[in-house]
A = this chain, B = another copy of it.
Amino acid sequence: MRGVLDVPEALVPVQGLIADSLLSVEKVFDEHLAAELPPVDQLCAHVERYRGKMLRPILVLLGALSAAPESAGLFEAGREGEIVSDELIRLAAVCEMVHMATLVHDDVLDDAELRRRGATLNHLKGNEAAVILGDYLIAGAYHLCATIGRSDLSERIGRVSMDLCAGELLQLHHRGDLSLDEPTYFEIVRRKTGTLIGVSCELGASLVNAPPETAGALYQTGMRLGVAFQIRDDLLDLTGDEQRVGKSVRKDLEKGKLTLPLVHHLGACEPMARGRALELIERGARGMSDAQERELLERLGETGSVEYAESRARALVSEAQGQIATLAPTPARSLLDALAQAVVDRAL
């Protein structure tokens, strides 16, 4: 997206519409947080630097564009821009604001120093400022959502935020738990990442009064994409390079968080190998040497655990694409499908 996705000719107009709409989303985002208090505004300006792919606002927009009952007709007439109302832009900004709040608080929990190739807020301004600024972003998101005047949307955003926090608490509870199993891993990931991406897909559709089953299918689409995305993120933390990833890596091991490749490896390997893997993982909490890191990755290779995690992510994307195929055929649907594919291809 934003020119990142290489799309066929037919999708250029809708991609352009999304790109233009994102500029409006950024404007609403920034204006809504302006407090006319310099200490607050400076912190908000820092958070704006966290802005990345804007996946959630894109999904809000594509959800609405692909699910509005009048969608097919408007696309045929080249009038799809009419679906992008002020309320839709605000809703897209709401989802991004909730996401930003979680990033700010996550960095506090992870003691992370780097995000989007810049210093994190907690690293620069201290945990206290980061905790309160995260709260300010959450409050801003709810306030902005309420201005749309649809309590059903506020209710969904509230419920999903509760789920998200419950997922984080569950994850915290299982820190250092080396017997974490796959169902619990997926329960955590569905809640902490899947729900917000699911609801981003769903709420745009709800706003334009799409039938409930369409909104529900979009929620399921987003949920699957979100889980696939998190698996990929976990893999980057495990195997990626800080310079290339642009944020702190090897944080999961340091914080005692088992991710899918490790859960799989511990379940798949011989008892002796298991003992050594546990030793390396426990070692990870205090910082591993490069040699130990290489050894752990080699061991994961022996059980095909990285490939296993990748295949689970691919399967989820494929399920999501199955859901997308049930929507009416429009350029927005095609773009949503391309976006799903990009999660697999690591092009997003």
Contacts and interface: CB of A to CB of B under 8 A. Distances in A.
A222 to B, nearest CB: 19
Interface in A17-34: none
Contacts of A105: 131-132, 135
A161 B139 contact: yes
Interface in A153-173: 154-155, 157-159, 161-162, 164-166, 168-170, 172-173
A272 interface: no
Interface in A105-141: 105, 108-109, 127-129, 131-136, 138-140
A132 B162 contact: no
B143 A161 contact: yes
A154 to B, nearest CB: 4
B165 A142 contact: no
A151 interface: yes
Nearest to A168: B132
Contacts of A162: 35, 136, 139-140, 143
A162 B159 CA distance: 20
A154 B146 contact: yes
Contacts of A133: 165, 169
A158 B170 contact: no
A37 interface: yes
A271 interface: no
Contacts of A166: 35, 37, 40, 136
A5 interface: no
A298 to B, nearest CB: 32
B165 A136 contact: yes
A180 to B, nearest CB: 13
Given A37-B166, A37-B170, A147-B155, A134 B132 contact: no
Given A109-B128, A132-B172, A135-B168, 10 more contacts: A105-B132, A109-B131, A128-B172, A133-B169, A138-B161, A139-B162, A140-B158, A143-B161, A144-B158, A146-B155
Ranked 7 nearest A-B pairs via Cβ: A143-B158, A139-B161, A39-B173, A146-B154, A136-B165, A146-B155, A142-B158
24 contacts: A37-B170, A39-B169, A39-B172, A39-B173, A40-B169, A132-B165, A132-B169, A134-B135, A136-B169, A138-B139, A138-B161, A139-B162, A140-B162, A142-B154, A142-B157, A144-B158, A145-B154, A145-B158, A146-B155, A147-B155, A150-B151, A151-B151, A151-B154, A154-B154
